[in-house]
Amino acid sequence: MDRTQLVNVVDVEATCWDGERPPGAVSEIIEIGLTVVDLAAGVRTARHRVLVKPARSTVSPFCTELTGLTQAEVDTGLDFAAACRLLAVEHATGVRPWASWGDYDRKQFTSQCRATRTEYPFSGRHTNAKAVFTEANGLVKRPGMARALEIAGLPLEGRHHRGEDDAWNIAALVLQLHERGAWPAS
């Protein structure tokens, strides 16, 4: 398999609140979804989920309602630095190009790595799939992932706002864009 044709599609879920965040709490990654896409073969080859235990916040009832993730579940996860190391070692994230829906995921990793003094696990070859989709479809407003799936005529598989499922769905959009010749060369 030609490694240059593999792309990691990433989606994270982070602690969140309905309204103001509690004093001292920060938004932290609690789930990393990663789907490996083989552009040459036109398939999603692997699906991964990494739970991350937050260090400076807790999972709110609002966050559980949105993502389905509970504090008890994320308490079984890795610490953030260990999760970043796992991404680099097991998923070649420092070498492969990667994509996410918008820039939130990239910015969240950048911010959290800086705050925790953790080595950034990704290569500098990031593609904002939302921007590519918007341009390829001649849209004025950038759609959310669920709306993009509707526009593309693709099903929403799994639970929306679950990192593993969202990465899987974004990967389907990436493959469709690639098939149309709209995905940028890595």
Q: Where are the domains of the chain?
A: 3-179
Q: Are 31 and 69 in contact (CB under 8 A)?
A: yes
Structure confidence at residue 4 as a pLDDT band (50, 70, 90): low
Contact status, residue 130 vs residue 158, Cβ threshold 8 Å: no
| Contact yes or no for 152/173 (Cβ under 8 A) | yes
Residue 146 has pLDDT above 80, yes or no: yes
Alpha helices, DSSP H, located in the chain: 61-67, 71-74, 80-91, 104-116, 129-136, 145-152, 163-179
CATH architecture of 3-179: 2-Layer Sandwich (3.30)
Confidence of residue 92 (pLDDT cuts 50, 70, 90): very high
Can you tell me the distance from the alpha carbon of 81 to that of 143, in angstroms, rounded to the nearest whole number?
32
Bridge partners (DSSP) listed for residue 78: 52
> How do residues 56-86 score in pLDDT, each as one tens digit?
999 999 999 999 999 999 999 999 999 999 9
Instruction: For residue 128, list its beta bridge partners.
Output: 100
Q: Is the pLDDT of residue 122 over 50?
A: yes
pLDDT at 130 over 90: yes
Rounded distance between C-alpha atoms, residue 76 and residue 118, angstroms: 20
